[in-house]
Structure 1
Amino acid sequence: MENLPNAAKGWEISDDHLVYTFHLRDDVKFSDGTPMTAADVKFSFDKVMDPKVDAPHLRNYFEDITGCEEVDTHTVRFTCNKPYYRHLVMIGGLYIIPRHIYGEGDFNNHPNNRAPVGSGRYALEGWETGQRVTLARNPHYWGAKEQDGPWFDKIVYAIITDETAAFQVLARGDLDFMGLRPELFIRRGNTPRFQEQFNRFAYSRPAYNYIGWNLRKPLFKDKKTRRALAMLLDRELIRDEIYYGQAEIIAGNFMPGTPEHNNALQPIPFDPEGARALLAEAGWKDTDTDGILDRDGVAFRFDAATTNQNPVAESVLTVFMEELARVGIQLTIRPMEWASLIDRVDKREFDAILMGWSMPPDPDPYQVWHSSQVDAGSNYIGFVNEESDRLIEAARVSFDQDERIALYRRFQEILHEEQPYLFLLAPKVLAAGDKRLHGIRVYPFGIDQREWFVPKALQRYGG
């Protein structure tokens, strides 16, 4: 992967990887016409680092940066106290927010959070809660003369929470592009009539789903119990019948096909009898003959929370619930609104969660797995392991990819042994787009909507 200039026309990195100097273009403007300067870059960095700002998931990537200095109006310098192999990507990829907009008021609840001002190709034109979000071409976009696009005058994102209803809107031509769940993609999207009007896309990307155990809970305190739970989920059945074959079973946090993936580790197989034996070894027995296992006077009952907007997740948990019941474990599925789910997760008020992660190029597991992220970061489940901390820390300061890969493969061995997540599958991205849309290309990390266009002869909207 190569880093390309954008709002910064160039940069220098010191030999010791501790100083990064960026030279900004002098023609970049925010969508309200205000020029973007080094002061906005420093302001954006300072906001990320402000502990009062709700950004712990970002802050961990910048924690080794000790200073951000405005050298002049269009030059900014970052100084670090230790090297980090992703500093160029993270600093260079920092989203710049306008100081003149966000410099006053409560940042977390700022009124412009509903009316953001940026410097990209499009600006927010409208936001109708629960209905649609409309973007319009940014008249102040600085890159229009040098780059391809923006090609569309407007982009409207329709919010339709029922996927079956959304598919009907797509099929009658009132949507141009839509992500599809496997059942819709394979069955209803596979007809000659549908394929006459739409192109279908199915591609892999570095993303996976998982069931995370809250390791603060006594139920999940030992790895024998967690391994037994993994042995009670038939992921082959889920892959074939719920995902219609459009997913890959995984064994850890790095995706198959990526350099970091440890090919020596295999997913834990479905083995109910082996799970029964392992649960017994872990001290789980039905001492009061009520049909539910117990240990130390505590019955093996737990909730699993997931979003109520994902019927596939609920189907996966239903399969799991039925298998757990056969060995004497009671699972209750808790579908929740996304905001409520995230609130519970942030407060660590859950037994188990079914969620997912996507991975960037050359990923760093620190945010999700380092013990420093247990209380306020993305290590929601409370995983603490001294060796894994050392491995992650050593990888962060190495600029040798082969060395990082070796460290990460050992790290995956620890996860495989400890089973803090029940790693599920890496689903393919499934989508359909009207054949009027051109320029849709699939890359290793997905598709880039900025490349899409509609030839003039096929245009339906506008004059």
Structure 2
Amino acid sequence: MKKTSIPYWLFLLLFLIPACLGLQDGTETPAPTPNLDSTPTPQASPDDGIVVCMGQEPNSLYPFGELNTAARNVLAAIYDGPIDNVGYEYQPVILTQLPSLENGDAQIVKIAAQSGDSVLDAGGNLIELTPGSRIRPAGCRNDDCAIAYDGVTTIEMDQMIVAFRLRPDLAWSDGAPLTADDSIYSFELQREADADDYLIQRTQSYEAADAQTLQWFGVPGFIDSTYFLNFWQPAPRHAWSEFPSDQLPDVDVSSREPIGWGPYAIKEWIPGEAITLEKNPHYFRIRDGYPRTETIRIRFIPDPDTALSEMIAGRCDLIEPTLNLENHVGLLKEMQDAEEARMFAATGMSMEWLGFSLAHASYDNGYDVGRDRQNFFADTYTRQGIAYCLDRGTVAASVLYNLTDVPATYLPSNHPAFNSDASPIPYDPQIGVSLLEQAGWQDTDEDPSTPRRAVNVKNVAYNTPLLLKYQTTSTAQRRQVTAILERSLAECGIGLEIEFVPPNDLYAPGPDGPLFGRQFDLAQYALGAEGSEPPCGWFTSDGIPSESNSWSGSNITGYRNADYDQACRAAQFSMREDSAYLASYRQTQIILAEELPAIPLYSRLRIAAARPDLCGFDLDPSANALWNVEAFEISAACQN
């Protein structure tokens, strides 16, 4: 799996806007649900195959393009791995092992650097070494030991060298051998396309040592905690090299019928209807009895009610999470109790937030209490008081059917880097009111139904009501959530003016967009992370959208904390093997829990449904829904 680095603000846009648009369809007036009284037992799919129903059609099958979830699902069946991310842990698939410092396939060596060389500076920036450059010499892992280069001497810096060893039994689905050269070809394609420039720019060289071994050399100073992912997913040079690289995203051989090494190969793609996959006879696990099923038919059904009806009728064996089933959990539980289906639910690295606007754009030229939006959230007591007045438990129970817990940090509780000492702030209006009063918000009219007013609140004009604009999109789920939170906040004397904003307007770029332009009071939004690395960068000061960075960045709250920035940077510059790795990530969680620039509301759900006798399906929190499609089969052994 090649390692990618998508800016968090871009991931927010790519992930969230399509999701919100999809959730809006049909949520205000739910379609009639299937009648369980006449539910037949699903029958076996024809031709020894399994039918997977997805909510969208792949936008392309070119593996190095900008792919939607449906495309990634299909490609998981064509390309097994090359490295799986299961349970927030990485597993080799077509490599004999994951490289590590312990097994010797990764090493840190000293390399001489001199003026004019490309290196990474102490801030993680790719630079040309010049006099005064602040760098980390060999053995230095934090800012305390960084030095200024004198421009004269040759200095030793650390360089990472990583070896990746392919399994010797790999072949493409057309029978041609898969070799290290195919990974080199992939690297060349993506370098020419300027794709994944973060890693490519930090790669000094990537070369084949032999037919099954690749070596990655990092730029001096680049200490990468996920070095074991710096492997480029192979591409079939023998099948694609006749086409210029800029044509590959469009030609059928690479975008509609790509060959792979996985359990299945493309048999047929009927646009708007289905893709049929057939067993790959050259799959490296074929002798172990995989894949278990001869064919997989992937149907495109955008409407969840239709998909559920098709499953009841025996024409869908699996409904995977691109079909939004969140509004059908009650029905699915009934079907599961009746042994007519099995429901799967998982949370992951995508989380719903309530963000405080700590640095409103109107403050950029200095805060004026008489002119600018009132600085409601300057006092930590105010933010903490609001947190205690949020009934997130009812949200989890009534909106999310207790399928997700109230989060304590920006990481799910089953993540390896989660701070196990953290606990979510409970719903306790009494404590919330006490904190608000400590901040200076008083019930001046002794009427609990009206908002509190500022009596002695830091940076807030006297007698200002605690009346906040709350902006989010109008999906059914978010409407339910805002209704619950509005009631619970009102109990503490916090008033809301709720505004449901079209997604394209809410997530519009700055300076005009309310989120990325930092022109809101409270905002409910989602953030998602690629991979399993803790996304502490969500709240670093360099991620604040502003004119200087073209209004890009995920830290729409405007939160600034030097200690947090340092802890996040220390974690990102540490090796997983170092004690500082976990310690620094946990420190970021401790700081955020105290400072509360935003409050995690709930982890977003991924829900799937399957016929009760479908074996092998495993909805994992960090993996693709079809990550182990080779294990799918219909068998009475899996019947509830």
2:284 aligned with 1:143: yes
Q: Does 2:285 match 1:117?
A: no
* CA–CA distance in structure 2, aligned partners of residues 8 and 135 of structure 1: 30
Q: State whether structure 2 residue 277 is matched by structure 1 residue 184.
A: no
Match of 2:387 in 1: 230
Q: Hey, what's the Cα distance between the residues in 1 that align with 2:478 and 2:428?
A: 22
In the alignment, what sits opposite 1:86? 226
Let me know the Cα RMSD of the aligned residues: 4.7
Give 1:85-234 correspondences, 5 Å limit: 85-88=225-228, 90-92=229-231, 94-97=232-235, 100=240, 104-105=245-246, 115=256, 117=258, 119=260, 120-123=262-265, 125-126=268-269, 128=271, 134-137=275-278, 139=280, 142-143=283-284, 145-146=286-287, 148-149=290-291, 151-161=293-303, 163-178=304-319, 179=321, 181=325, 184-185=328-329, 187-191=330-334, 195-202=338-345, 208-213=351-356, 216-217=359-360, 222=378, 224=380, 225-234=382-391
In the TM superposition, residue 403 of structure 1 has moved relative to its aligned partner by 3.8
Deviation at 1:19, TM superposition (A): 0.3
| 1:30-84 deviations in Å (ceiling 9; x for gaps) | 667876554553454467678954x58xx3x777543323446654321123333
1:59-458 correspondence to structure 2 within 5 Å: 59=198, 64-71=202-209, 75-80=213-218, 81=220, 82-88=222-228, 90-92=229-231, 94-97=232-235, 100=240, 104-105=245-246, 115=256, 117=258, 119=260, 120-123=262-265, 125-126=268-269, 128=271, 134-137=275-278, 139=280, 142-143=283-284, 145-146=286-287, 148-149=290-291, 151-161=293-303, 163-178=304-319, 179=321, 181=325, 184-185=328-329, 187-191=330-334, 195-202=338-345, 208-213=351-356, 216-217=359-360, 222=378, 224=380, 225-272=382-429, 275=432, 295=460, 301-302=468-469, 304-306=471-473, 308=475, 311-323=476-488, 327-334=494-501, 336=503, 348-349=516-517, 351=520, 352-357=523-528, 363-374=533-544, 375=549, 376=552, 379=555, 383-395=559-571, 396-400=573-577, 402-426=579-603, 430-441=607-618, 448-455=627-634
In structure 2, the residue matched to 1:461 is none
Check the 8 A contact 2:613/2:635 in 1, yes or no: no
The 8 Å contact of residues 336 and 342 in structure 2, kept in 1 or not, is answered as no
> Residues of 2 paired with 1:167 and 1:244: CA distance?
19
Q: Distance in 2 between matches of 1:282 and 1:46?
A: 58
State the alpha-carbon separation in 2 of the partners of residues 22 and 44 from structure 1: 15
- CA distance change for structure 1 residues 18 and 341 in 2, over 3 Å: closer, same or farther? farther
After TM superposition, give the deviation of residue 248 of structure 1 in Å.
0.7
The 3-state SS of whatever aligns with 1:136 is strand
TM-score, normalized by length of structure 1? 0.73
TM-aligned CA deviation for residue 133 of structure 1: 5.3
- For residues 554 and 181 of structure 2, the distance between their equivalents in structure 1, rounded to whole angstroms, comes to 30
Residue identity opposite 2:401 in structure 1: Y
Q: What residue number does 2:46 align with?
A: none
1:18 is displaced (CA, Å) by 0.9
Give 1:315 shift.
Answer: 1.9
Aligned partners of 2:385, 2:481: CA distance in 1, in Å?
Answer: 17
| 8 Å Cα contact 1:213/1:421 also seen in 2 | yes
Contact kept? 2:352, 2:527, Cα under 8 Å: yes
Q: For 1:150 and 1:103, locate their aligned partners in 2 and report how far apart those are by CA, in whole Å.
A: 37
Aligned to 2:47: none
Normalising by structure 2, we get a TM-score of 0.56
Alignment partners' CA distance in 1, 2:608 and 2:348? 13
Cα deviation, residue 234, structure 1: 0.8
Aligned residue for 1:319, secondary structure, equals helix
Structure 1 200/209 Cα, relative in aligned 2: closer, same or farther at 3 Å? same
Instruction: Please give the alpha-carbon distance, in whole angstroms, between the structure 2 residues aligned to 1:279 and 1:83.
Output: 44
CA contact (8 A) 1:324 1:331 kept: no
SS where residue 105 of structure 1 aligns? helix
The residue type paired with residue 320 of structure 1 is: L
1:21 equivalenced with 2:163 (yes/no): yes
State the distance in 1 between where 2:482 and 2:273 align. 30
Q: Tell me, in whole angstroms, the C-alpha distance in 2 between the residues paired with 1:78 and 1:445.
A: 26
The Cα of 1:198 is off from its aligned counterpart by: 1.8
**Distance between the aligned counterparts of 2:506 and 2:284, measured in 1?**
39
Partners of 2:335 and 2:98 lie apart in 1 by 50
Following superposition, the deviation at residue 412 of structure 1 comes to 0.8
Distance 1:204 1:366, change over 3 A: closer
The alpha-carbon distance between structure 1 residues 299 and 457, as it changes in their structure 2 partners (threshold 3 A), is closer
2:274 touches 2:298 (CA, 8 Å); kept in 1?
Answer: yes
Q: 1:372 to 1:111 in 2, by over 3 A?
A: farther
**Runs (5+) with no aligned partner, structure 2:** 1-88, 100-104, 110-158, 362-374, 445-449, 455-459
Larger C-alpha radius of gyration, 1 or 2? Answer: 2
In 2: Cα distance, 1:227 partner to 1:51 partner: 47
Identity rate of aligned residues, in percent? 20
Q: Aligned pair count? A: 440
CA spacing shift, 1:106–1:191, aligned 2, 3 Å: same
Query: Contact 2:360–2:558 at 8 Å: present in 1 too?
Result: no
Question: What is the rounded CA distance, in whole Å, between the counterparts of 1:182 and 1:302 in structure 2?
Answer: 27
Q: 1:18 is paired with a residue of what secondary structure?
A: strand
Deviation string 1:209-245 (CA, Å, 9 cap, x unpaired) is: 3334565525676363543443342101112211222
Q: Is the 8 A contact 2:407 2:602 kept in 1?
A: yes
Q: Which amino acid counterpart does residue 332 of structure 1 have in structure 2?
A: E
SS in 2 for 1:364: coil
Find the aligned partners of 1:19 and 1:169 in 2 and give their Cα distance. Answer: 52
